[in-house]
A and B are shown apart, each in its own frame.
Chain A
């Protein structure tokens, strides 16, 4: 079993769930610990209920895990909802003045904090939170100084008095715990590592900056808005033009306009906004103007559940825009990969002059993960492909005396792309079908032979795209009893499920798909040909990836584990489902989510 420790903090939106979360995260990361945080929340600004899970440990923490070790309910509602999650060895810190504990499992330590005695609650509205942080820290075996440092930073803008007040309130909680509660048996360890803590949205935004994105635009839509926020806040330092646009149709068209001028251009949205962008993607494909579009999936259809996760947009991405055209679709595997993927997909989009689509989801977009700074490489390879800007020194801008053909037939299907402003390369690009020189063959000069040639030119790029993307790999023992197949954000939780299964004597391996288009179907079939029992794990109702894999390869898995309640998988969901499927009880498991938010 992984050595991890998880804190659950529950409360109403606006009650200050985020602040203790941030404080714990900072303290953990400064101890050199990894962490993974997931906030289950609702689409409400004040009120409702949110439940934040922060899981930490010395090794990689890839998901929220199965167990809460320390539970901090900030109100009665939270206590009532989640107390049943606690098992032996866990503890619950609560404000004894306002919250009553309900039925409690054996071996759970109830830690009642007399908040009104410990702090002046008329002056400090979030005193209960600060006291709980102090108390919790003592129970985890962490010295008070680390909390004092973080509180200093947190409140220094509000002046010395506020800092002193918060430090003394936290100290009261810390000391009270020392006197009255039993500390956890294993103090949280310390390592020499230092991590950055970031969300997938921040990672994708920074990945864009690293890739050389110079134009970013968006319309706010959960759960993608974090990309816009990072871009807007860092635009001037990074030299990126960031615009908020009137709608997602405007977004994708504006992004393509900037791309046509020759800069790397990116935008992000969620499923609803992506639907509006669909026609624009066809334009990117037809004009052969590369653009990268991120879709942070949330639970659909329609407006769906804006604050909940799902992997339900795969077929929308596969079918986005009418007609056949080359496209690239990739799903980042974790938050670190959200960063790494962006420069990679830009290089492919640029080289093959086609849209690059990133299929992220709320779990990664809004989750938080510790990432080693070396994995945030701001100096990745940048390959702009055959681009003629007239200013980049490498590409020729010599006038061509009118012989330049924007859509010149080539073996690779890629035609050197001149951008406006370059002398001697004047041409018009169009959404209508066109000849090599850009002249339309849609209205007056329709021509089936040329239409066929141009379709084949564009589609020849598919072979090059395939060659530039590595096939997936099988992780774990080749002869495992069960092979779990997932895609994108489920990587971490499937990985841990495999570890647990292996510990329990069921050997398991994992095939995680990152590049959805191109899929490398033949390589996948080769990897799976010896698999003894295959199960596809995905966060949607209909098995969108299972259907896609079948359509591309005729491969049919032995079983499926699906979840479409808006919440991510926890490791035990997968472990238990695998066991019931190996026992031939079912071929389709739909685990029940136990945390009610």
Chain B
């Protein structure tokens, strides 16, 4: 772990945000923030080349707590914003962070389309199966029967399965992490950042204030690492889909699926062959401009 300062080396101290997180003590999001910081240090990506983009919600406050460039955008819109930013300067490392309500509820449309486009960003969802910042309502991943302020007699709606949804939408990297397992989560985030294309990490990040069903105690005995199964091959989409359906006494975490044969959006677009748009001459070359006008004459 590169935590000691060497000349020009990125350290954990460099990534400490201007303010400390204001999450509730014990919130799973602390572990996710920490794993992101560790992953960036291990990959040695200069912090000025990293942009953390989020929506709205407890977990979406993350860009304020990490010393990289950041955009704390609107509820559900982080992936759309991130797509535009990545296409305008594809040399940046773009991390998108947020919660289950932000990503699978209000942002569901962008979630699906960003995956099919294979935009080269790493999307980390801190999935706590509840709306925290609005003080405890049912979320798109709340289980059937869960009692919340908005469904006091128990949820009667089936939850979305983010892993199956991501696989069906064409995500090229699909993983699930657990905030309670730092080492494993840090490795997953590193792999996600290194993946050339859209990487999706659904991370169990318990809400200690409002979700009394899916607690650390509930998760700890259930999560089983796919990496511990030597026979599991994450390049097989059908196997990943099958694994994604497991929920109960055993809940798989780890890398469900990865394929590397699909170019990311910016790599597939010839307009970007000459480098990032940011560094281009804003002027249309005179002969090209003349051609545009002559077409109309």
Which A positions have Cβ atoms within 8 angstroms of B? 29, 194-198, 202, 206, 209-212, 214-215, 217, 234-243, 245-247, 249-250, 253-265, 279-280, 283, 287, 373, 376, 378-379, 382, 389, 391, 419-432, 437-440, 443-445
Given A210-B284, A376-B293, A431-B72, A421 contacting B278 (CB threshold 8 A): yes
Of A236, A241, A391, chain B has the most CB atoms within 10 Å of the CB of A241
B contacts with A: majority SS: helix
Contact with A along B273-297 (1 / 0, CB 8 A): 0100111101110101101110011
| Interface-lining segment among B88-96, B198-206, B221-229, B230-238 | B88-96
**In the complex, which of the residues A280, A378, A431, A438 contacts B284, with contact meaning CB atoms closer than 8 Å?**
A378
Interface size bracket, B side: 35 or more
Contact with A along B63-89 (1 / 0, CB 8 A): 110011111111001001111111111
Q: List the B side residues contacting A249 at CB < 8 Å.
A: 77, 80, 109-110
| B59 at interface by CB-CB < 8 Å | no
Given A197-B297, A262-B278, A421 contacting B91 (CB threshold 8 A): yes
Q: List the A side residues contacting B80 at CB < 8 Å.
A: 245, 249-250, 253-254, 257
| B271 at interface by CB-CB < 8 Å | yes
Using A210-B289, A430-B72 as known contacts, list a sample of 6 further A-B pairs with CB atoms less than 8 Å apart, ordered by residue number in A.
Answer: A238-B284, A250-B77, A261-B92, A378-B289, A420-B51, A426-B47
Shortest distance between the CB of B8 and any CB in chain A (Å): 12
Q: Using CB atoms, name the residue of chain A closest to B47.
A: A426
- Chain B 84-115 interface residues, beta-carbon cutoff 8 Å to A: 84-89, 91-92, 109-110, 112-113
Query: How far, in whole Å, are A437 and B52 apart by their CA atoms in the complex?
Result: 16
Contact with A along B241-285 (1 / 0, CB 8 A): 000000000000000000000000000011110100111101110
Query: How far, in whole Å, are A428 and B48 apart by their CA atoms in the complex?
Result: 11
What are 5 A-B interface contacts by the 8 Å CB criterion? Answer: A202-B296, A237-B291, A253-B73, A257-B80, A257-B84
Of A242, A250, A256, A376, chain B has the most CB atoms within 10 Å of the CB of A250
Query: How far, in whole Å, are A111 and B279 apart by their CA atoms in the complex?
Result: 62
Shortest distance between the CB of B171 and any CB in chain A (Å): 16
**In the complex, which of the residues A195, A217, A241, A261 contacts B269, with contact meaning CB atoms closer than 8 Å?**
A241
| B49 at interface by CB-CB < 8 Å | yes
Query: How far, in whole Å, are A432 and B292 apart by their CA atoms in the complex?
Result: 42
Q: Using CB atoms, name the residue of chain A closest to B282.
A: A212
Query: How far, in whole Å, are A259 and B80 apart by their CA atoms in the complex?
Result: 12
Q: List the A side residues contacting B136 at CB < 8 Å.
A: none
Q: Are A426 and B69 in contact (CB under 8 A)?
A: yes
Query: How far, in whole Å, are A424 and B47 apart by their CA atoms in the complex?
Result: 9
Q: Using CB atoms, name the residue of chain A closest to B296.
A: A196
**In the complex, which of the residues B48, B73, B87, B282 contacts A241, with contact meaning CB atoms closer than 8 Å?**
B87
**In the complex, which of the residues A195, A206, A246, A438 contacts B297, with contact meaning CB atoms closer than 8 Å?**
A195
**In the complex, which of the residues B46, B84, B280, B293 contacts A239, with contact meaning CB atoms closer than 8 Å?**
B280
A contacts with B: majority SS: mixed
- Chain B 8-41 interface residues, beta-carbon cutoff 8 Å to A: 18-19, 22
| B138 at interface by CB-CB < 8 Å | no
Query: How far, in whole Å, are A196 and B22 apart by their CA atoms in the complex?
Result: 60
Query: How far, in whole Å, are A104 and B87 apart by their CA atoms in the complex?
Result: 61
**In the complex, which of the residues A234, A261, A279, A419 contacts B84, with contact meaning CB atoms closer than 8 Å?**
A261
Given A247-B109, A263-B277, A215 contacting B46 (CB threshold 8 A): no
Shortest distance between the CB of B101 and any CB in chain A (Å): 16
Query: How far, in whole Å, are A357 and B285 apart by their CA atoms in the complex?
Result: 27
Q: Are A426 and B48 in contact (CB under 8 A)?
A: yes
Q: Using CB atoms, name the residue of chain B closest to A26.
A: B297
Given A206-B292, A237-B288, A257-B80, A215 contacting B88 (CB threshold 8 A): yes
A-B contact count (CB 8 A): 212
Q: Are A287 and B109 in contact (CB under 8 A)?
A: no
Given A241-B272, A250-B80, A389-B278, A261 contacting B74 (CB threshold 8 A): no
Q: Are A426 and B68 in contact (CB under 8 A)?
A: yes
Given A217-B84, A260-B85, A373 contacting B297 (CB threshold 8 A): yes
Contact with A along B120-162 (1 / 0, CB 8 A): 0000000000000000000000000000000000000000000
| B61 at interface by CB-CB < 8 Å | yes
Q: List the B side residues contacting A257 at CB < 8 Å.
A: 53, 71, 80-86, 88
Query: How far, in whole Å, are A440 and B56 apart by their CA atoms in the complex?
Result: 13
Q: Are A391 and B278 in contact (CB under 8 A)?
A: yes
Q: Using CB atoms, name the residue of chain A closest to B266.
A: A241
Q: Are A283 and B89 in contact (CB under 8 A)?
A: no
**In the complex, which of the residues A29, A217, A241 contacts B277, with contact meaning CB atoms closer than 8 Å?**
A241
Query: How far, in whole Å, are A373 and B280 apart by their CA atoms in the complex?
Result: 26
Q: Are B296 and A197 in contact (CB under 8 A)?
A: yes
Query: How far, in whole Å, are A420 and B280 apart by their CA atoms in the complex?
Result: 16
Q: List the B side residues contacting A444 at CB < 8 Å.
A: 19, 22
**In the complex, which of the residues B19, B64, B89 contacts A430, with contact meaning CB atoms closer than 8 Å?**
B64
Q: List the B side residues contacting A287 at CB < 8 Å.
A: 71
**In the complex, which of the residues A197, A263, A376, A424 contacts B278, with contact meaning CB atoms closer than 8 Å?**
A263
Q: Are A255 and B84 in contact (CB under 8 A)?
A: yes
Q: Are B48 and A261 in contact (CB under 8 A)?
A: no
**In the complex, which of the residues A239, A242, A426, A440 contacts B64, with contact meaning CB atoms closer than 8 Å?**
A440
Q: Are B109 and A215 in contact (CB under 8 A)?
A: no
Q: Are A378 and B286 in contact (CB under 8 A)?
A: yes
Query: How far, in whole Å, are A379 and B51 apart by their CA atoms in the complex?
Result: 33
Q: Are A256 and B84 in contact (CB under 8 A)?
A: yes
Shortest distance between the CB of A32 and any CB in chain B (Å): 11
Query: How far, in whole Å, are A373 and B296 apart by their CA atoms in the complex?
Result: 10
**In the complex, which of the residues B18, B46, B70, B109 contacts A423, with contact meaning CB atoms closer than 8 Å?**
B46
Shortest distance between the CB of B296 and any CB in chain A (Å): 4
Q: List the B side residues contacting A250 at CB < 8 Å.
A: 77, 80, 109-110, 113
Q: Are A196 and B271 in contact (CB under 8 A)?
A: no
Q: Are B88 and A212 in contact (CB under 8 A)?
A: no
Shortest distance between the CB of B173 and any CB in chain A (Å): 21
Q: List the B side residues contacting A426 at CB < 8 Å.
A: 47-48, 67-69
Query: How far, in whole Å, are A439 and B20 apart by their CA atoms in the complex?
Result: 11
**In the complex, which of the residues A202, A209, A253, A424 contacts B48, with contact meaning CB atoms closer than 8 Å?**
A424
Q: List the A side residues contacting B63 at CB < 8 Å.
A: 428, 430
Q: Are A265 and B84 in contact (CB under 8 A)?
A: yes
